Copies of this chain bind each other. A is one copy, B any other.
Amino acid sequence: MARPRKPLLSRDRIVTAALALVDAEGLAAVSTRRLAAELGVSGPSLYNHFRTKDEILDAVADTVVGQVDLSMFATADGDRPDWPEALLAWGRSYRAALTAHPNIVPFLAQGPGRRPAGLRQADAVFGGMVEAGWPPAHATRIGAMMRYFVAGSALGSFARGFVGDPGVYDPADYPHLGQAHLLPEHQRRVDEGAFEAGLRALVDGLALQYQRLRDGEPVT
């Protein structure tokens, strides 16, 4: 075939196919040869559009993070934004974007923040918190801790870890896990409940800290 007059591939087509493959069959299913086959080309063709496989996955990760809603940090001028509400809304949107594509999360979570969508997100959160009255050092920390929590919650399902077999949980070994084998069926409920409760606890705790800051008390 050699070079066609109209390119068969584009970065966009590759990223779309890669995301579909990750979603359908997992991160391990994405090999350059397999992905190329999915696109009807041969393996090395991809290297005309991306320098490495990791660069492809970076682009996939970026489109996923790009789905996160950041509008809650863009407030009308002069308004003090309601930062606790903004954090809650952002946290939920962030988690929703990741859990929509759970198989890419392990790659996404370790990867560098160099990806544009991640930077835009860090920028928006930082700006929103500073505008709300948080000192810059605190604003940085808030962005980081939220990322920790959301990424951790999307990464390893807590409940998914427990298998359905009661025999695994010998009460002699694990005195409190007697009902643990029931967890898989409640999996999503447990994970979502834990996320929601943790998100609220985090924001409530930050509100306490904010209050102490306002009152001029020393804060660590």
Contacts and interface: CB of A to CB of B under 8 A. Distances in A.
Nearest to A177: B123
Given A119-B169, A155-B110, A168-B114, A148 B202 contact: no
Contacts of A151: 152, 155-156
Interface in A125-168: 126-127, 130, 137-138, 140-145, 147-153, 155-156, 158-163, 168
A113 interface: yes
B126 A176 contact: yes
B141 A190 contact: yes
Nearest to A137: B193
Contacts of A180: 122
A174 B114 CA distance: 12
Nearest to A95: B148
A118 B183 CA distance: 15
A161 B113 contact: yes
Contacts of A8: none
Indicate the size class of the contact surface on chain A.
Answer: 35 or more
Interface stretch (A10-18, A29-37, A205-213): A205-213
A155 B109 contact: yes
A109 B153 CA distance: 10
Contacts of A147: 152, 156, 158
Contacts of A1: none
A133 to B, nearest CB: 15
A100 interface: no
A194 B114 contact: no
6 contacts: A114-B163, A122-B174, A126-B177, A144-B190, A200-B209, A203-B205
Given A112-B163, A127-B176, 16 more contacts: A109-B156, A113-B161, A118-B161, A122-B177, A123-B174, A123-B177, A126-B176, A137-B193, A144-B191, A145-B194, A145-B198, A148-B148, A149-B198, A152-B155, A200-B209, A205-B205
